[in-house]
Structure 1
């Protein structure tokens, strides 16, 4: 499967990066204002990544679970084994994608829900060109280097951001994706092509019929139609999206 196809269909994570409409961000994106399905720019068709361990010095093992941390777009499977241990890096032929698609990729720490992560590549056949790393375990130890972690309530996200944020309604393929940080503290930084992404879901203590935004529209964290959403929604997925050669 080509990298272009991967970028277009792996939208459940790629859309997180592409639909953040921050003018300061230098990485190329092509998301429509309200339709993240059009996102196409997290993984270009070319990459110079290599899995050859002899092409670079060995990487030191990591013990802190921060994204992106030591991860970079030119890493391959061998480098992941150096970072996390060979026993903790498993190739998976069926990583989940949007709309029922599956991709070849890597699972990190598959036997440990607190450290489990999914790794997607721009070249999913050769597993080259690190593209997206996704974490969605409720008790995950992984966190983003900007302070975001699993389980943060929407109200806390808005507080950390310093401004209201926008996100897509729940209950569809791209539901809950934060689409716009409105230039707040969590917005993409000028000169940093790596995207830090968050996706919202119902809080563990929220009733199943809670009144929260749903559907493919965009909503704001200060939407007065949903006065309880700050406590009812929480971070249910974190990811980082890396640029390809054409985005650097």
Structure 2
């Protein structure tokens, strides 16, 4: 009997440390995705001061944020040292750090409509209910989608949701990608986009211009 009990105990240990068990354990520890809403702390009237109060001053940094072509912009970064939670906020009123113009979501957040960083282009197309357009890859403004029809068209009345896609880093080198490169228009249902592992790499929300702030003169 002691030998049988010992074997049973040993089997339990082996199961517990098996790759599948460890994988399930890690999955159980993964935090649930956070639903982002363009209201409350992320409403159109929020400020840098409110973000500091909400997230803690140690978790919020204000300074230079780099945009396309190395453009330097004044913005606020939330959780700057944690890539899984990092968010970047740009402001309409830079002097008072108020009224967000754009917020880059973290990989752990789900945008209005259900899109999250890491989703395949097929998953996004399924959420939209139909194909959509996006730009070609490998340039400063590449991979951005514009969705004019479908369930992802204006999913939140308080903000506009934007998506950027990129191919996987490890797609086969034998695949000819010249047809999806550069400043061109692509369709999300192109088979080649699946072949190169196209995924969401960037999700952001943009806010309407505040009525009380004068429009810039150009």
Fold match (TM-score > 0.5): yes
1:1-248 equivalent positions in 2, closer than 5 A? 64=34, 66-68=36-38, 70=40, 71-92=42-63, 94-135=64-105, 140-179=107-146, 181-189=147-155, 192-207=157-172, 210-212=175-177, 213-223=180-190, 227-231=191-195, 232-246=197-211
Bigger Cα Rg: 2
8 Å CA contact retained: 1:221, 1:230: no
Corresponding residue for 1:28? none
Q: How many equivalent pairs are there?
A: 176
The TM-score with structure 1 as length reference comes to: 0.64
Q: Which has the higher helix share?
A: 2
Q: Secondary structure at the match of 1:228?
A: helix
State the alpha-carbon separation in 2 of the partners of residues 172 and 246 from structure 1: 34
Q: Secondary structure at the match of 2:163?
A: strand
User: Can you list the C-alpha shifts for 1:89-124, whole angstroms capped at 9, x where unaligned?
Assistant: 1112x2011222101111100111110011100122
CA RMSD, Structure 1 to Structure 2 (Å) = 2.4
The TM-score with structure 2 as length reference comes to: 0.72
Deviation at 1:84, TM superposition (A): 1.6
8 Å CA contact retained: 2:61, 2:77: yes
* Unaligned segments of structure 2, at least 5 residues: 1-32, 213-218
8 Å CA contact retained: 2:138, 2:182: yes
